[in-house]
Structure 1
Amino acid sequence: MDMAYRIIIADDHPLFRSALHQAVQMAVAGAELQEVDCINSLMQLLSDTDDIDLLLLDLKMPGASGFSALASLRHQYPQLPVVMVSASEEPAIVQQAMRFGAMGFIPKSAPMPVLVSALNTILEGEPWFPDGISLDQAPQDTIAERLASLTPQQFKVLSMLSEGLLNKQIAFELNVSEATVKAHVTAIFRKLDVKNRTQAVIALSQLEGGEY
């Protein structure tokens, strides 16, 4: 395989990061690997690094829950191939990953030979998902599509709203003016077609959908 591959492993579990690291080395000898353990570190790395060939993204890690990170990344870096890794193997979750534009979905329970095979397939430009999963089976999810239209900064604001933070607190955390936060909140309400914070937070919770 090409030794020039640049791959990021984003997972907050050291043991699984190590397993992925090993699988990548077996699949792609000589690949340049970088590891992060939270979404903030990932976003900083992506802003500082060009030409990433593949991102292996944990479905649930600090800074984002569920598919919010994937949706935000696909919006900001549409050319970046993203493969979700998750302890869950539920078809509905795999289908949601497909719907948000993931190039693959690798269960954390997958044995090493399967991990290596999946990575080889994906790096050759082909998607890889567990057997028996079809996007055609997935119901249309208009809320998910609306959430996918949010900018990365709007995702941050929405996530902080879900934590119960006030506009003033969000402005402090993001180092922006309170007026800027209000503008983001207004845009979020418009894009999600909701009327208040409670409805916006419910929409985000539907995207996150439980423990992955």
Structure 2
Amino acid sequence: MERFTKLLIITEKEQTSNMALLAESINIKVEQTIKPDLQGKSIRNGTLVAFPFYGRQLGKRGISEDLQHCMQLAPVFLYQVERSFVDPNYALNIGIRGLIYRDEQLDRVLNAIKAMMAGELYYPRAIMSELVDEVLQQRFNQGFDPEALSAIQLLTKQEKKIIQLVADGSRNKEVAMALNISAHTVKAHLSSIFRKTKSRNRVELLRWIQQSSPSRTL
């Protein structure tokens, strides 16, 4: 999981964005530039780019040239997104690291920035749950030992979400916040997950995930 050390915010106009102020309030190193200045700009490793997407559509019609150029320079997430204009499944499939909607509350925007700077993806829970199910189905299609199949079939939807967060490096408190449950409940779920996957700890659980699918991890 790649952690980022700097946030580059792309804006339409030369004025300090609210995104920059929020990121700086949680001690994130921020740089801001307008879209025209992005051409010919080199971006250092460890930089995550916030790309404005107000009033724009993203779906089966493809990717605009400016977004495509930006994605070639560095990992990107979209902000100021209008919910009805962007297909989150499509965004995830093309490599967008997250979506921050225009009507998102400030506390959720802060959580989103923190999560993505820590290397996590930021999408609605339903989308991430579908992704986990898709990965598990791919494993089934690829074929693996019956014991692993049995364990996967026993996992609940909530347990799959927790496995996704654990694989992304989240600690118990972070998992609890992401799923809006208590840390005690997270521990209980982890105990169940460890039992079903025959893992004694997180390290063995991650190894189980990797061994269950040679081509892809959660």
Max Rg structure: 2
